[in-house]
Amino acid sequence: MAQSAVSATGTSEITPISAKAIAPWAVFFGILMLVLLYFVGAEQGATALISGEGVHEWVHDGRHLLGFPCH
């Protein structure tokens, strides 16, 4: 290997990741989780964005698993 995480003394060097580098990923995954929570918990109800029963059928078992009522 040309580069190794282990130094010549046998100890590994771990570089810390700054909050500035993590922030965009945290925002992305936070928004993704909110969208998934919406589709599992609220879609096909009073706030439905997509008409029909397609989304309801795709997330039906997940709703019951998470305790959301759907029928």
pTM: 0.58
Q: What sign results for the dihedral spanned by CA atoms 58, 61, 62, 67?
A: positive
Can you tell me the distance from the alpha carbon of 25 to that of 7, in angstroms, rounded to the nearest whole number? 30
pLDDT tens by residue, 9-65? 667 788 888 999 999 999 999 999 998 888 777 766 666 777 777 777 777 777 788
